[in-house]
Structure 1
Amino acid sequence: MKVILQQEVKKLGKQGDIIEVSEGYARNYLLPQKLAVPATNTNINTIKQQKAAQVQKTQRLLDEARLLAAQLGQLEVSVPVKTGEGGKLFGSVTSKDIADALLAQHQVEMDKRKIEIKENIKSLGTYAITLRIHPEVTTQIQVHIVSL
């Protein structure tokens, strides 16, 4: 019997997959648990429409992320910090500090977990920081660490 999975089922498939299972398994487990629906023409067309809408949504989100990455790539951020002798910082600059500076200077709200700092920032200078905007889209901004 052909069924369309409504959610992921281990060792069978993912949501939206059309699979062939035994009638007993479908009738006694998959259908009562609402893990699957029978693969009728209307159900197949509904799943195709949902997949097409999902593809359009992911493409739209990707395009928006690329546009945002192009805009953010032009930004430069200054982070003022307290320093000791020789330009050494008290502590280090974290991704939260950079996110706060982005919000204060450019009104761009960025999650601190999406800011990647390759090396610890423990001295004054300019650093290239990577921002993950989308799983497929990243951009770099310049961060200037300046003394108060």
Structure 2
Amino acid sequence: MQVILVKPVRKLGKVGNTVTVADGFGRNYLIPQEFAIRATKENIAKFSSLQKDMEAKNAENKVDAEKVVAAIKSKHITFITQSAADGRLFGSVSAKAIAAELSKLANVPLNYTNVLLDTPIKFNGIFDVQVILHPEVITTILVVVAKTDTEAQDALREYKEGGKKDAQQKEDELSAMEAENSKQKEVTEEEDAN
């Protein structure tokens, strides 16, 4: 199915692009949510006359999103939760909860679709979470999850001072653990063979 995008859609295109999508995606999501219209001759002619207005509105929405990014930049959200001794939460911090706190912080209504979080947060710690305010405006916010305010402040201070392990260090530790496990597995297999 061919559709004309009337709003920008992440990983699909900008306003005015004619794209081919799966029938179900176009019929069940893009068209009802008013992200796109069918690419018929009438709609193409109608859209070409309205395209400048839509592009201007999109540019205005982008500017508004950039203002929100400026308001939340270098800020963080803290969640005080109950957790086990090993840091596992009794429950989780979801995209919906993060969106609610962000709405308070930015004074702009946001919902869970604005927060890019694959799975809910289930451990204490500091997390970089992506926030999509406009398909062309994506920012990252710091989410701190801790047992107490003091613990959250300490973790944040340590993070800002550079106490955070970099990705390479974590990767090295993980590969060392995997190597140790494979050695133990080989030893066990040799003993079983004898």
Q: TM-score range by the shorter chain?
A: 0.5 to 0.7
What residue in structure 2 maps to residue 29 of structure 1? none
C-alpha separation in 2, matches of 1:123 and 1:88: 5
TM-score by length of 1: 0.62
Which residue of the partner structure matches residue 35 of structure 1? none
Amino acid at match of 1:124: N
Give the C-alpha shift of residue 120 in structure 1. 4.3
The aligned residue for residue 94 of structure 1 is 94
Aligned residue for 1:74, secondary structure, equals coil
The one-character-per-residue Cα deviations of 1:87-137 (angstroms, maximum 9, x if unpaired) are 211122111221233345564532112111245422111100011101111
Size of the alignment, in residue pairs? 113
Alpha carbons of structure 1 residues 54 and 131: separation in structure 2 relative to 1, 3 Å: same
1:137/1:77 CA distance change after superposition, 3 Å: same
State how 1:20-31 maps to structure 2 within 5 Å: none
Query: What does 1:97-112 correspond to in 2, within 5 Å?
Result: 97-104=97-104, 107-112=107-112
**Taking structure 2 as the reference length, what is the TM-score of the superposition?**
0.49
Decide whether the 8 Å contact of 1:79 with 1:101 is kept in 2. Answer: no
- Cα–Cα, structure 1 residues 108 and 81, in superposed 2: closer, same or farther, change >3 Å? farther
Structure 1 residue aligned with 2:69: 69
CA distance in 2, matches of 1:112, 1:82: 23
Kindly indicate whether the alpha-carbon contact (under 8 Å) linking 1:126 and 1:144 is maintained by their aligned counterparts in 2: yes
Q: Does 1:51 align with 2:51?
A: yes
Larger % of helix: which? 2
Give SS of 1:113's match: helix
* Cα pair distance change 1:55/1:107, threshold 3 Å: closer
1:17 aligns with: 45
2: distance between equivalents of 1:10 and 1:51?
15
Unaligned runs of at least 5 residues, structure 2: 1-35, 149-194
8 A Cα contact 1:83 1:89, kept in partner: yes
1:86 and 1:56, CA in 2 relative to 1: closer, same or farther beyond 3 A?
same
Per-residue Cα deviation, 1:45-90 (whole angstroms, up to 9, x for no partner): xx77643322221111111112222322222000111112222111
Which blocks of at least 5 consecutive residues in structure 1 are unaligned?
A: 1-7, 19-46
1:137 aligns with 137
Hey, what's the Cα distance between the residues in 1 that align with 2:53 and 2:129? Answer: 35
Contact 1:79 1:97 in 2 (8 A): no
Amino-acid identity (%):
21
Partner Cα distance (1:119, 1:88) in 2 = 14
CA–CA distance in 1 between the matches of 2:105 and 2:120?
22
